[in-house]
Structures are given as structure tokens and as C-alpha cells.
Amino acid sequence: MKTWLAAAVCVLALGSSAALAEADTFGVGSGRNLGLSVDAASTINSYAPVTASLEVGSTAIPIGACTGNATCFAAGDLVLVYQTTGLVKAPTPEPVDITAASEGVGRWEFARLDAGTTEARLVLTAPLIRGYAPNVTQVIRVPEYTNITIASTGIITAPAWDGSTGGIIAFLATGTVNNMGVISASALGFRGGQYVNDTTGASGCSGALTPEQPAPSGAQKGEGIVSSRYGTAQTGRGNVANGAGGGVCQKSGGGGGGHGGVGGKGGRSSDGGRDVGGLGGAALTYEPLTQWTFGGGGGSGHGSSGTGVPGGRGGGAIFIRAGQLTGSGTITASGGSANASNLDGGSGGGAGGSVYLRFVRTADCGAVSVTGGIGGNVNTLRVGPGGGGGGGRVLFQAEGGSCPIVANGATAGVQLESSEPSYGAQAGTAVDPTLLPGGFVVPEVPTIITPANGSVTSNRRPPITGEARPAGVTVLLYIDGNYAGSQTSDASGNYTFTPPADLSDGPHTVQAVSEVLAVSSPRSAINTFTVDTVAPDTTIVTGPSGFTRQNTATFEFSATEPGVTYECSLNGADFTPCPVSLTLNGLVEGAYTLQVRARDAAGNVDESPATRSFRVTGADLALLGSGCSATGGDASWVLLGLGTFTALARRRRRSE
């Protein structure tokens, strides 16, 4: 028996030996949280920080304290795992490609909570697809509604990002979101630089100014995706990724935060109009289907008169998938504008955040806004205003409707010198929204046609074929629970995939998932098949050899594999199928050679057939001295009658 046969029993009973990770198969949700009506300010999500590293394949998440909505985490809940920040070092040049940085910032995935979930540990129904860094990743409980009604007085909002959690609104709805009010994550994202009064009494900066000019001559930078570069020690005019730079002495303005667009530079200094305003935050590039982030915070302006203000916060993030959007309400994740300063440098505005909106049917609304925040004004002459925040990013999909998208960069602040109000401060820039074709689609479950369930093949790379609709979807193939590759279905919805490496002899499983624009179908049924490249060995167990006086001969065969079929050849004729117990009738005197070979279910054939030679004679066997086992004329043969072999033997002899 082949060594893999015992393992086959386990695979047949249990399916894949490795669980597939939890792809995004959640569509517009299950509706398990029923309907929602909102007529006042409301927080619908709950949040918790992730307190330890999460590896690919993790099935549990250690968390800190739950905040936000009073309903925290429980078995059956849908959660969003999201790495908010944590880039180790800001890459150059700009714009910053956070997908290429491969450090997980902005990555997210859904997961379903299982039994065993506690206030300190979330247990998942399936492993995580990605890994996540601790302390910069949060888990958000995502409600799954049927229909949502937001009155004109209603607001859905979230707690502001505090360096650990918050800043995100996320929900799914199987039906209609009727929004007559506001869904707002504006100014809930990355924090602005805090104002620190320079009390040194210096009238100007002495020595060389550096991008990291220390306090108090350098003002605080805005926060961005490099989490270690925000706080009281992070000062000077240099930006850090999308976090803007602060102003420097004397009284130059802070830069605007960046995101989709670049933040504007802060205005010039009050001592000689030197061009030393804080630099705007960088634009971020990434794959919007699988990543999104907050807008960068604006940098603080430099000041020594005690009238300065913090930089504007970046916009947070909004994530909605639903059947339809109606109403004249707004959806906004704009950057925060900086307040005016009386005598000190103006601070930069925050950048617009992220809005992810995908609807099965139409979408109508008053506006979707991810504009940058306006740079801070200065209520005096020749003091640097703040730079404008860059525009944010929108991903939008619907089957028609009217929903204007506004993603502009913001204007810079101004000061009172009428000949040049901006005094060197610059506006933020913008980027176009990502518009997906048609309505939101959850693809159908693909089928696997070959290898058929329960089949056996001798091909170590058996073609995997099936159907996947709609045409043109990406089909992800998993062999033995591990991702093996992908293929695109053709215009007829068919696909063919060849495994990239040889499969070992033994049992295997194959499963398929269709993917359309980063959303997956439920998993297909598992097909179990066996690769068998070893031919069976054949043995003739019983039957005459040497001399025999019988004109009937019965042979029985065996092989080293179960479930084989046999093929026989008599006296060199072609091999033809024969039973495991073969009886030859009407044998005439003469010499005979029987060859038999086994063929297994995979089509492997014994290349060294078993052979038995014997002679039928009318002579007295005692005189021949044969060791033949047949004695006398009363031997009893089992007559299973294979006339083809008798006729075949006779024709051969006549032809000779």
C-alpha cells in the first residue's frame, strides 16, 4: 500500500489541512444589527488598540481598552483591523509611495469574531491575511445594518484620533442609507503641531537653520504616518512624510498637511522676510482598494508673543458599503483649518482624509468632501501665515446617481500687508478621486471542474479548470490550503490554471475564490484529488505452469494497489481488458504464454507484466516428469468463460 493512502483518509474527512485566511467576502454585510435611525450626534463604532504584533495567520488579537460606542466586542461581530501609522522612516523622494514601503501603513482587513472573545482578546473565525505592528494598529467594530436613516439633525461621527485609536467611521448596510444629515470624520485624523511660545527673547535665529531646528526656535511638526516623529521633540521646518513642518524663528508660518495632494509651505519670517516657513506635508500614493490613511497634520507656526495656535488636524476616514445612498446630506472627511493668530506665525491646515464609498445601486447626496484645511491667518503685518492643507482621497463606486466629490487643496492663510497677503505661504494641491465602473459587485462562487472531486491523476501539474462569473474576474486558486496563483476568466467565464510546481504523490485539495476589485466571493467547494505517478506491480497468484492435461486453465491476479484493472495478452496478442480471475476454455495441445499487467486509476500501467508459460499435452504427465500442479482429468476449474482469449489463440495458431 502506498504511504500516502492513510493520509488520504484524513484529507477526505477534513478537507484542506490548512485553513484559508479570511478574504473580504463580507460584501454589504449580513444586516445582523438591523436598522438604524439617527437624529442627533452619534458614534456607532467601538475601538481598541492592538497591543502585540499580529502575524500572518493569527487567529487572536490582544487588545487594550475599548472606547467609542458603549457596545464593545462580542462573538459574531464584524471588525476592521487597520494599521493607522507606523512607517519607520519617511522614504525619499516624495511623493511617498506607502505601498512600496511595505510596512503595512494604511492596510486593513475584515475579520469575524468567534466564541472565546473577551475584553482583552479577540478570537477570530479565520486567520488574518496580513501582519500588523503593535500600538499603531487598531480594531474597529463595524456594524452591519439593513437600512439607515439620518435625519437633518443627525450626525454620525467618531472620536478623534488620539495616537492609539479613533478617527474612523465604518459600517455596512444591505439596504439603503438615507442621509439627510452629516456623516463626518472631518478634522479627526492626524494631529497638528502644538504651539510652543519661544520665550528666549531672540529677535532672530542665530546660526544655520536645519529641517529639525530644535525648540523653541523651531516650532512643532504636524503628525503623519511616521509615528515616531510627532511630539514635543519633533520640531523644525522639515516635513516628515505627510506631516507638515513647523515654522522657525522669527514667526514664520507652519506648513499644511499632505495626503492626496501636497500641503502648502508656510509664510516667511518676520525678520527680513526670510523664506523659512514650514514645508508642506508630502503627497501619499497607494492602492486605494486596499489602503487608505488619514490626512497629515499641519505644522505649528513659530511665535514669541503667546498668541499662536496649533496646526489643523488632518481628516479622518469613512468606510461605507451599502445597497444604495439617497438624500441630500453630506459625507465629509476634510482637514481642519487652523485658527487665526494675532501676532505669531500662522499654523498650517490639515490635509483631507479618506472616504471609501461603494454602492450596489445608485448614490445621491449633497456632497462628498475631503478638502484640505485652510492655513491660519495672522492679524498683523509681515508675519508668516500658515500653508493650506492638501486634498484627501476618495474611492467611489455606484450604478449612477448624483453625488458631487470635492477634494480640493485649501488656500493659505493671509496677513495684513495688502501688497502680498499670503507673504510666501502656499495653497495645498489636490488629486482626482478614484471612480470605479458600475455598481459594487460581490462575485459569484466559482466552480472547479477538473480535477474532479475524488479523481486520481498521474499528472504532477494537473490543469485546474472551472467557471467564474462575471467574465473577466480574477480567480485565486488554493492548493492544500495555500495560495498557488491566479487566473482571469475568459469572455465565456471559463478559466484554466496550471500549478506552478510539481505536486507530490498523494492526496491534495483545491479550492477557488473569485475576486473583483479587491472583494472576494465565498469559497468554492473543496475538490479532493490524488496524484499517483507510480505504476502498480502485478502478480499471477494461481494458475497452471509447466505441463497440464486440462483444456481449461484458470488464473488469478493481484497488484500492489487497490482498485486496479487488468489487461491480458495470450501468446503475444494485443493486451485487452481481462478480469481478476481469468478462465481460458477449449485449450488445444500446445505451448501458451500468458502476460498480465495492472492499470491503476491514474492510468499508470505496469511496464513489466507478470508472465506465466504452460503447455497443454495429452501425454502421461508421470512420463514427462513435470512438476505440474494439475493431476488427472478431474481438476475443477472455475469457468468464467473468456471466449475472446480462446478465439484469439486459435486465430493466431492458424495464421502461423
Structural domains of the chain sorted by starting position, each given as residue range(s) with its CATH number in brackets: 12-180 (no CATH), 442-531 (2.60.40.10), 538-655 (2.60.40.10)
Specify the 3-state DSSP secondary structure of 570: strand
Question: Of 372, 370, 430, which Cα lies nearest the Cα of 394?
Answer: 370
d(CA 647, CA 642): 9
pTM above 0.95, yes or no: no
- CA geometry: angle at 152 spanning 147 and 155, to 5°? 70
Which one-letter DSSP state was computed for residue 520?
A: E
Helix, strand, coil abundance in the chain, percent, nearest 5: 5, 30, 65
Question: Of 3, 1, 5, which Cα lies nearest the Cα of 530?
Answer: 5
Cell of 186: 472631518
pLDDT at site 208: 59
For the CA atoms of 163, 353, 334, 332, the dihedral, rounded to the nearest 10 degrees, stands at: -110
d(CA 603, CA 607): 12
pLDDT at site 551: 94
CB-based contact 603:458 (threshold 8 Å): yes
Other residues' Cβ atoms within 10 Å of the Cβ of residue 528? 20
Other residues' Cβ atoms within 10 Å of the Cβ of residue 160? 16
pLDDT at site 4: 40
d(CA 21, CA 16): 12
Which one-letter DSSP state was computed for residue 113?
A: B
CB-based contact 257:297 (threshold 8 Å): yes
Cα dist from 526 to 351, 449, 463, whole Å: 47, 11, 16
pLDDT at site 528: 98
pLDDT at site 102: 76
pLDDT at site 465: 98
Cell of 651: 486465430
pLDDT at site 5: 35
Single-letter code of the amino acid located at 45: N
Other residues' Cβ atoms within 10 Å of the Cβ of residue 207? 7
pLDDT at site 91: 75
pLDDT at site 643: 42
d(CA 333, CA 95): 21
Rounded average pLDDT per 10-residue block, the chain, 656 residues: 37 38 88 98 98 96 97 97 92 82 91 96 96 97 99 99 99 99 99 95 69 93 96 96 96 98 98 94 96 98 96 99 99 99 98 99 99 99 98 98 98 97 98 97 95 97 96 95 94 97 97 95 96 97 95 97 97 98 96 98 97 90 47 33 40 37
First to last CA, the chain: 43
β-pairing verdict for 565-570 and 590-599: antiparallel
CB-based contact 385:348 (threshold 8 Å): no
Burial 226-260 (b: 16+ CB within 10 A, else e): bbebbeeebbbbbbbbbbbbbbbbbbbbbbbbbbb
CB-based contact 50:164 (threshold 8 Å): no
pLDDT at site 655: 36
Single-letter code of the amino acid located at 487: Q
pLDDT at site 56: 93
Dihedral of CA 232/233/234/237: which sign? Answer: positive
